[in-house]
Amino acid sequence: MTANPAVLSSLNIVGMSHPLQSAAPEALIWRADATVMALVGLAHAMSHFSHLLLPGLFPFLQRDFGLSFSELGGLMTLFFTVSGLGQALSGFVVDRTGARPVLFGSILLFMGAALSAALAQGYAGLMLSALLAGLGNAPFHPVDFSILNQRVSAPRLGHAYSVHGLSGNLGWALSTAFLVGVAASSNWRLACLGALLLYALVLALLVWQRQHLATVAAAPRPVAAGRQGAQGGAGAPAAEGEFDFLRLPVVWWCFAFFLLTTMTLAVVHTFSVSILRALHGVSLQAASLTLTAYMLCGAAGMLAGGFVAARARRSEQVVALCMSGGALLLLLCASGWLGTTGTMVALAATGVAVGIGGPSRDMMIKRATPAGATGRIYGTVYSGLDAGLALSPLLFGTLMDRGHYQATLAGAGLVLLLAVLVALGVGRRTVARA
């Protein structure tokens, strides 16, 4: 007996738990999984592309509108504040309506952000663009993980998380190359219109392949705690009410983990170039190349991390080991013992350590997620990312302003070590419920 694609789609939508799944050829299952991974990865790349929609054009905007660095920074504060608050709330919408319509709405908001930027005549127009982009970015983690957790077969979830993380890094890289390239060769307004066209093409592809993105809405239902549901991890308690998940300590431990890890990574992204130049006197090109190497190493680590996550029984232990390695490398960089070349190599290697732990991190959150609350849990937990991106420049920027460059790197390493303890705490609380 063989299963046609329509049958397979109906099986996949409930996490491949249907008794007939054994009748579907493995090649057909793999093809369906790969299609979902690719579509969700493409959408996630557009989310990361939107992160740099305005920052990629800052030099041009500053020149044409006479903006200060504080005003430019205010645009990103608006973006991440709206995204963080919206992410926590959008999870409820995803659980009630399903992920697909929310995904389409997000891409439409990105199109509105690009159009607003292209037509902006001053700071107010840029603020509108940042607002729309933040609203569009907000639902992506609840949307992406709801689709992946429901539609990708369990043995390949680790690989799905790997593709998801890798596609985000590629979205950052594409954004910078695309926007700066077009703006430098013509003008920044045309770059924004080009981004609008790119968003429209992606939306058209997602609508065309919409059957691969359908999810089952999961309204809260009273189920005995400890029962495993279609979306929850092993032993995860089912959600009894719409807001009951907020009383689960593991939710806030997961939130704290994302807050802490993102604070550390924001230091590397924001200040590493300045730190290398100040401490070791390297050129701007060499310092920028080190940051690029860090991102490429992170992408390679995520690719390898998918295989690790697919085989690891205790995801939190993989996360703790990888983050510990990254923290120790940062502390070595801060010490100055490695010299100029050693520090640059170690900083790039930090990306490998953190990247390998990325898919296991997402698996750790899945296993801690109560049944029927995927969107709400991911929305709340992953809003810690936006909170970390908003807080880190403020806290560590003070150290940078006072010339404490080594203390900035050391502080980032210590915060990452604290995140290791939090990850182990997540694991203990998940196992205790199993």
Q: Distance (Å, rounded) from C-alpha 352 to C-alpha 359?
A: 12
Task: With beta carbons less than 8 A apart as the criterion, state whether 380 and 322 touch.
Answer: no
Query: Residue 244: its pLDDT value, please?
Result: 66
Rounded to the nearest integer, the mean pLDDT of the chain is 81
The CA distances from residue 83 to 51, 87, 153, 342, in Å, are 10, 6, 30, 37
Q: Supply the pLDDT for residue 391.
A: 79
- DSSP codes, 292-359: HHHHHHHHHHHHHHHHHHHH-S-HHHHHHHHHHHHHHHHHHHHHTTTHHHHHHHHHHHHHHHHHHHHH
CATH topology classification for 25-212: Growth Hormone; Chain: A; (1.20.1250)
Question: Which part of the chain is CATH 1.20.1250.20?
Answer: 25-212, 244-433
Distance, CA of 285 to CA of 283 (rounded, Å): 5
Q: 323: pLDDT confidence band, cut at 50, 70 and 90?
A: very high
Is the pLDDT score of 98 beyond 80?
yes
Q: What is the residue type of 282?
A: V
Q: What is the DSSP string of 360-371?
A: HHHHHHHHTPPT
Segment 363-371 shows an average pLDDT of 72
- Residue with the larger pLDDT of the pair 125 and 424: 125
Range in 31-35, 62-66, 259-263, 387-391 the model is least confident about: 387-391
Fold of 244-433: Growth Hormone; Chain: A; (1.20.1250)
Return the pLDDT at 166: 85
The reported pLDDT for the residue numbered 220 is: 53
Nearest-angstrom CA–CA distance, 133 and 169: 18
Model pTM? 0.71
Residue bearing the bigger pLDDT, 202 or 367: 202
Instruction: Decide if 7 contacts 28 (C-beta within 8 A).
Output: no
Rounded (5°) CA angle 117-121-127? 50
Q: How much is the average pLDDT of 392-399?
A: 78
3-state secondary structure 377-430: HHHHHHHHHHHHHHHHHHHHHHHHHCCCHHHHHHHHHHHHHHHHHHHHHHHHHH
Q: What's the average model confidence in pLDDT over 84-93? A: 82
Is residue 372 over pLDDT 70?
Answer: no
Output the pLDDT for position 373.
58
User: In this predicted structure, what is the pLDDT of residue 245?
Assistant: 66
Helix, strand or coil for residue 195?
helix
180 residue type, one letter: V
pLDDT band at residue 125, thresholds of 50, 70 and 90? Answer: very high
pLDDT computed for residue 24 by the predictor: 57
- The percent of residues above 90 in pLDDT, for the chain, comes to 30
Burial per residue of 316-346, b for 16 or more beta-carbon CB atoms within 10 angstroms, e otherwise: bebbbbbbbbbbbbbbbbbeeebeeeebbeb
**What per-residue confidence (pLDDT) applies to 377?**
74
Residue type at position 251: V
Alpha carbons 8 and 25: distance in angstroms, whole number: 10
Q: Considering only CA atoms, which of 230, 142, 378, 91 is closest in space to residue 238?
A: 230
